[in-house]
A and B are shown apart, each in its own frame.
Chain A
Amino acid sequence: MSIPPSLPICGCFCLVFFYRCLSTMVGTYPLLSVQPMRGLVDEKIQVVVRNLPPALSVTLHSLHRSEDNDFWEAFGHYTSNDQGMVTVAKDASLGGTYEGAEPMGLLWSMQPVPGSRTGLSGHMTEGFSKQSPLATVVTERWYMAPGVCRIHIREHGVRGTLFLPPGPGPFPGVLDMWGGGGGLVEYRSCLLASHGFVSMALEYLSHDKNRTSDIESTTYFEKAFRIVQEHPLVMKDRVALFGLSLGASVALNLAAYSKDISPKCCVCISGSHVHRVNQAFSKVFRKMNKDGYKTRFDEEGRVVWRDFILPIPTDLGEKVDMGRIKCPLMLVVGEDDQNLATVESAKDMTQMMRAAGNEHLLTILQYPDAGHLIEMPYTPHFRASSFIVQQTGQKVMVLWGGYTKPHADAQEDFWEKSLSFLRQHLYPSPDSVPKAKL
């Protein structure tokens, strides 16, 4: 299995929808429509086929060619109704890469294309590239809404990319951090800007090993936060932290310990308070190496790292003091996370906050059978993938966890709720702003 697809950064990707059937159909032309033809990555699509004979077996197929030149596909088997129609939002797929009535199945169930053989029935399962479709449409899925501006940031040693929504502002801001895979991952920030937030994707673990020294203390992250906060288009008191995996741990550390910055709220996906990032990153990585013996392997030899932080320490010095958090916090957790013990962490964080009296700030979204990489809605799920270990440069096959359908549901649900959460805390209505008390 290859490295996960690098989903396009600021542009779009095309999906080609095919519609195939073996029998020779004459006299009518199937009409395949996908709305919208150009949409944001988190928008739903309506796929409808019309003008078919009734009770015809058809396969709907989607194909995407990634920036890395890998092909991904999904397909569903349908039977047209009495009016000769197939409506993906309502009709059940009888098989394929997804089943049941799944409006977005042709996207989230995508998998890398295997070697193909010719299919022999109206309901095809492989060999799509060798068959001629009956109808095709192309749809574009964009991370970047029209008018969003992308700005390269290299300031005070901070490396990132800033995305600005169109308009005079001011806007709320987000500092957006990914996980231990490192590099600069832009697409979530781009999509946040498409939803009206100034968002900076922060690079803090570059693939160049020489660059870990600048994140030894949290100063690097505080500087990054201030870059967002001080931008002329940003509302200074409305800047949030958004992090996944190690990025979520960074967010928790900053929210609890930073004297310099105060996030308005935090969204932490698949993270844990057991990484004391504020005590120096190198210490965090050294501890991970020490815990290397806790690595397990699944039946396919894939690496399971979830036990590293178990058992959750009772010693306060080994975890973030959650009682110090003063802003609303949303935790997003997949119950089948095989990479980090996020369920146990979330439970412990709740107990700590309950004891400290700030539990009212906490919202937890917990998803059964979802894995570690809870990403943008409708993007494919992969249970494992290639991963380069930061310290050693070693390439391993890491098990992230999750099962396709529940993971897809989790991605769709969490994104809607996070946007709602961000809007609630960062974009209040004028009438809810408290009057000054002098």
Chain B
Amino acid sequence: TLSFVRAIITVVMTEKAASPMLLLHPSRGLIDEKFSLIVQNLSQIQDITLHALIHSDDGDYWEAFGHYVSDATGFVNVANDSSLGGTYDGVEPMGLLWSMRPVPGSRIGLRLRKKEVHTPMVVHISVYRGHMSQGFREQVALASVVTERWYMAPGVRRVDITEGGITGTLFLPPGPGPFPALLDLWGGGGGLVEYRSALLSSHGFVSLALEYMTPRTSGGSTSHVGNEYFEAAFTVLKQHPQVCGDSIAILGLSFGTSVALGMAVYSTVIQPRCLVCVSGSHVQPVKGSLSDVFGEINKNVRNTRYDEENRVIWRDLLLPIPTDPTKKVDVGQLKCPVLMIVGEDDQNWPATESAEDMKQMMEKAGNSHLLTTLSYPGAGHLIEPPYSPHIRASNFMVAETKQKLVVLWGGETAPHGHAQEDSWKKILSFLEEHLYRSTDVTSQSNL
């Protein structure tokens, strides 16, 4: 009897269910790379949830999840199969990243931004039994993998810049160069935001992330930087031994667009090869400085609106688009190609209206062939490199006054995610075309 009992136990023990396997590739990629994600060794027609988790530099947790059903061979392939629900649905190969949101119980108004670019964003991807929407922490997953998402490719170098009176961070691709370069300008949130420059450098450009929003104190008074600050930054790039001086572009978002357009038209020092303008406007006093842009905006502060959750909508502060030519950059004088990127649900700047007005001005002036506009329905203000989570609103501190608010950026998650993916691809393509490939008369004469 004892041996019979032992035999049963042995048989039962060897009939162990095999573990499902998660196959994610590549396990280490750049932040803008797609990955493939397959689950295998499941039972057939099994309900599962795929879950992604990030623990941010700020200590917050972000997650996304999708509900899937395995096929007759026990496979789920995120590239082909439809998510039936979760934080995203449909066939979305990268939905587990761009649909992430803070986990329940998190602080409000969060934005996921990587400060430390030398380390990757680490994402834990797990598969759970059944269709779950909460309580992931309390459940044991069927399988997990870890993937690293990097802003910096191997060999990219990071250099602090304090020369010429400017503050910024320079990123250089590996190799002797020379390389084309970018002046990388963020918006009103201020600070020194490095990750986009790190990523651009990983794509072969020298990129200078410039800190410019913090008012400077000199001679007892505090004011915004003047135009010479941006000219100094451009010169730092132009004179860098590893930069090809006549292949420099400006990439600006929000206020950064104001700077890019204003400088490109009015500065004699700044002669960019091309411009990328995201979520911005040409509305500003002609030949004005940053202070003047703020001045115009502040004049219309009564146009501030609030949504049903009391979040600040600033898009009307520059509306209506003025007809007075002294109040907007004369884009008819632009001599270089411009890529305008606008989100149609931008609640922060009147980007769509500005783009439309710019087009009309350039058509009248005869240089509209230089303008390409990418307009994305359902996208908001913060059109960033792809696969970073969309947030419709977040905490914001006004650099000038240190006032804290919750600002409405706009956009709906899925269309905004798609806009980021599509626009980034086109930005890289545009930059490659104009900075890496085109040889115009100017550069040929230097040979």
Listed in ascending order, the chain A residues whose CB lies under 8 Å from chain B are: 14, 16, 26-29, 31-32, 36-40, 43, 51, 132-140, 142, 145-147, 166-171, 194, 196, 235-237, 427-431, 433-438
Contacts and interface: CB of A to CB of B under 8 A. Distances in A.
Given A27-B439, A37-B153, A51-B436, A145 B27 contact: yes
A65 B38 CA distance: 35
Interface stretch (B162-170, B173-181, B251-259, B293-301): B173-181
B80 interface: no
B16 A29 contact: no
A85 B89 CA distance: 40
B2 interface: no
B159 interface: no
Contacts of A139: 154
A29 B179 contact: yes
9 contacts: A28-B436, A29-B436, A37-B30, A146-B28, A166-B124, A166-B146, A168-B140, A237-B13, A427-B19
B27 A136 contact: no
Contacts of A436: 8, 11-12, 15
B28 A27 contact: no
A437 B122 CA distance: 46
B89 to A, nearest CB: 26
A361 B148 CA distance: 40
Contacts of B21: 196, 427
B154 A37 contact: yes
Contacts of A132: 176
Interface in B141-174: 141-148, 150, 153-155, 173-174
Interface of B: 8, 11-19, 21-22, 26-30, 41-44, 74, 122, 124, 126, 140-148, 150, 153-155, 173-176, 178-180, 202, 204, 244, 432, 436-437, 439, 443-444, 447
A114 B28 CA distance: 33
Contact of B19 (A38, A171, A431): A171
B410 to A, nearest CB: 34
A429 B74 contact: yes
A438 B180 CA distance: 73
Nearest to A40: B27
A235 B16 contact: yes
Contacts of B41: 427, 429-430
Q: Which 5 A-B pairs have the closest CB atoms?
A: A138-B155, A147-B146, A136-B175, A167-B144, A38-B28
Contacts of A51: 436-437
Nearest to A432: B18
A28 to B, nearest CB: 7
Contacts of A37: 28, 30, 153-154, 202
A136 B146 CA distance: 29
Given A27-B444, A38-B154, A237-B13, A166 B175 contact: no
B175 A137 contact: yes
Given A37-B153, A438-B11, A146 B146 contact: yes
Nearest to A19: B175
B150 A27 contact: no
A430 B126 CA distance: 19
Contacts of A438: 8, 11
A438 B11 CA distance: 8
Given A27-B447, A38-B29, A145-B27, A430 B43 contact: yes
Contacts of B12: 436
A31 B204 contact: yes
A168 B28 contact: no
Contact of B154 (A140, A427, A434): A140
Given A27-B439, A39-B26, A237 B16 contact: yes
B122 to A, nearest CB: 7
A167 B128 CA distance: 12
Contacts of B244: 29
Contacts of A31: 204, 432, 436
A196 B19 CA distance: 10
Contacts of B143: 167-168
